[in-house]
Amino acid sequence: MSAAKRIKTLRETIERHNRLYYVEDAPQITDAEYDKLFAELQALEAEHPELRTPDSPTQRVGGAPLPQFSEVQHRTPMLSIGNAFDEDEVRAFDKRIRQALGVEEVEYAAEPKFDGLAVSLVYRDGVFVQGATRGDGTTGEDVTPNLRTVNSIPLKIKASDLEVRGEVLMYRRDFDALNERQRAAEQKEYVNPRNAAAGAIRQLDSRITASRRLRFFAYALVSESASGTHAEALDRLGKLGFPVCKERDTVSGVEGLLGYYVRIGKLRERLPYAIDGVVYKVNRLDWQQRLGFVSRAPRFALAHKYPAEEQTTEVLGIEVQVGRTGTLTPVARLKPVFVGGVTVTNATLHNESELRRKDVRIGDTVVVRRAGDVIPEIVSVRLERRPPGAALFEFPSQCPVCGSAVVRNEDEAAHRCSGGLYCAAQRKQAVLHFASRRAMNVEGLGERLVDQLVDKELVRSPSDLYALSVSQLEDLERMGEKSAANLVAELERSRKTTLERLIYALGIRNVGESTARDLARHFGDLEPLARAGEGELLQVPDIGPVVARSIRQFFDEPHNRKVIEDLVHAGVHWPRSAPAPRASAPSKTFVLTGTLSGMTRDDARAAIEAKGHKVVGSVSKKTDFVVAGEDAGSKLEKARALGVRVLDEKQFTELLQNL
């Protein structure tokens, strides 16, 4: 037999045994026999390098380390799937699908939700040519050499051009063996199979990837065609040699979905790989196309998560964290405990009401859960194990970050730092809000730039923005002389503003654009607003006790008044005017929800206000109309429950013409 024929035979034999071992879990030869075949192929290819091809099994073993990953633009975005955590959310999902399609019952493709790393595989002329991570959904990392080492990924298929989406993961038994090797080598153990798999795929040295026993499961075939079903696409992938989940199924209606969830839940611990839920997809591809996408998620799919794992541990202490919006959150410092695949050392206690309800004290033994498999939280306290003298936690009266007064309104659960413009914990959020389009409208001042300005202490409060120079800005990452000059010009332009924009830019809690506009019209200038008591503030249309109290608390904090003084000294100015005559309340109140096809929400708001009417953010019995666009949410449900008149886009347009 010629070398070329023997090489061809060996490749086909080795790939068949790879499939039997990694895909079908039914090996027919021993590891020693496999190694002998592999060694023979390596030797023949070394003797005849002209016969070595990229799709040879020997190319799976990994090559020299890469200096870095290059970017891959996904032809079709790799979208995330929305989550559901209870039966009601699944029923709501099915209801939305049926209403959107105008049918009584929908057939779904259901499959386990793998806990691994999503990747995309591209084949040209039947050969695997590119593999990429999900990345941000639009742009991923080129990890082709690493994915070549995954034995369950076919290097050659009987199809022409194809893109396959799927998950790279590690079986539990392979993960345990990996950690045994790590322990034997006195190296750090891996936390869970998902992290081990993701870390292996993102290795710069593909030889390390090759040393892990990674698996691949295909879950989608990217196609321009909208014919057939998702289940048929998976069947085709299976025939082409891709591993597809044997536990997948097609079910009808919401009861079929919930039944599948229960069925897989009972199998969960016996599956060879970790899952954190199941995925439901509308089976018909033409219906998927009709339903489309919202934001970065498909409307036709839902991930139904299983309850998180729980463990017990000890509360070593309780501290307070100040969030970007000033909310003080009590955080329990825990004796490290392994929960849901990660080691947990902190858990949120949410707010004082929740802390008191659960009666969590320092020294307690508590049950910890990873809520939604993401945020650790304390579920309950084992009171029978409470030590004598377990200490209660008291909230501070001053912000631990900036020293401003901590306030808590009677109708709110959260404590808040009142130094919004001054507090370092809130600084980035305050600056971003101050510069936003509806506030001071400083174009070019985005999140990454604000992060740098605050981290380098070039900006401690919004007033510092107006002292920035071109030379300071051009030294920052992704900034050149032209960009720096443009930003300085934008800041110069923004010094002249309007009172309503300035009020909104201050970031006063509960004061949105509409309320800022009402305050500007009522008081005519900032000084009378800053002096106004709660009683006078209540005279402004649509301002109630909660908003009045928020405004008063803001101006009562000396740090905030100092920032406003600094803004004036920096040249920020606005037209002063006498208070407007008391206007009668708008005759009609609107709420906007969902997406309108013919106009933006800003356009709709402007059109309503131009007619002398008002747009508010929440639905109540006083609401006259709810304008519901595509993918309207809870506001639509509340409007129907309250009997508020709901308008679609066509009805809204007609009403506007007649108002």
Please count the other Cβ atoms lying within 10 Å of the Cβ belonging to residue 633.
Answer: 11
Please identify which residue in the block is written with the tokens 């200038």.
525
Alpha-carbon 619 to chain mean position? 27
Residue 460's SS3 state is coil
Strands (E), 8-153: 71-73, 83-84, 107-114, 117-124, 127-133, 139-141
* Separation of alpha carbons 607 and 609, rounded Å: 6
Radius of gyration of the chain (CA): 30
CB 521 within 8 A of CB 580: yes
Please identify which residue in the block is written with the tokens 């194990």.
385
CB 137 within 8 A of CB 79: yes
Give the closest residue to 241 by CA, choosing from 23, 527, 486, 482: 23
At 320, list the tokens: 């307070």
Whether 113 is catalytic is: yes
* Separation of alpha carbons 92 and 581, rounded Å: 48
Give the type of residue at 650: K
CA within 13 Å, CB half, 186 = 0
Alpha helices in 268-315 (DSSP H): 285-291
- Residue 131's DSSP bridge partners are 121
Please count the other Cβ atoms lying within 10 Å of the Cβ belonging to residue 32.
Answer: 7
Task: Please provide the DSSP assignment of 125-140 as one string.
Answer: TTEEEEEEE-TTSSEE
* Separation of alpha carbons 36 and 48, rounded Å: 18
Among residues 5, 113, 456, 562, the one annotated as catalytic is 113
Give the type of residue at 289: Q
- Residue 590's DSSP bridge partners are 615, 625
- Annotated active-site positions, please? 113
